[in-house]
Amino acid sequence: METLCRSRNQASTEPPILPPGLDTRDLFHGNRTVAINHHGERYILRLTRNERLILTKEV
């Protein structure tokens, strides 16, 4: 266990792998809301007046 903890704390020489990005302009297409279906559940992603994102689950 001690060896495992030390290896996690060591600095990596490789750059971190980042997930692919998506620009909100491409996602919203000029709208303020977009529906997202995930595993049979529906979510609404809203862009607020302050340019913040709010994700809510639709009931």
Tokens representing residue 18 in the block: 């980042």
Mean pLDDT of the region 3-23: 73
Higher pLDDT, 34 or 2: 34
- Residue 58 pLDDT > 80, yes or no? yes
**Contact at 8 Å (CB) between 35 and 41?**
no
What are 27-43's pLDDT values in tens digits? Answer: 999 999 999 999 999 99
Q: Is the pLDDT of residue 51 over 60?
A: yes
- For residues 2 and 44, which has the higher predicted lDDT (pLDDT)? 44
DSSP label at residue 46: E
Mean pLDDT over all residues of the chain?
86
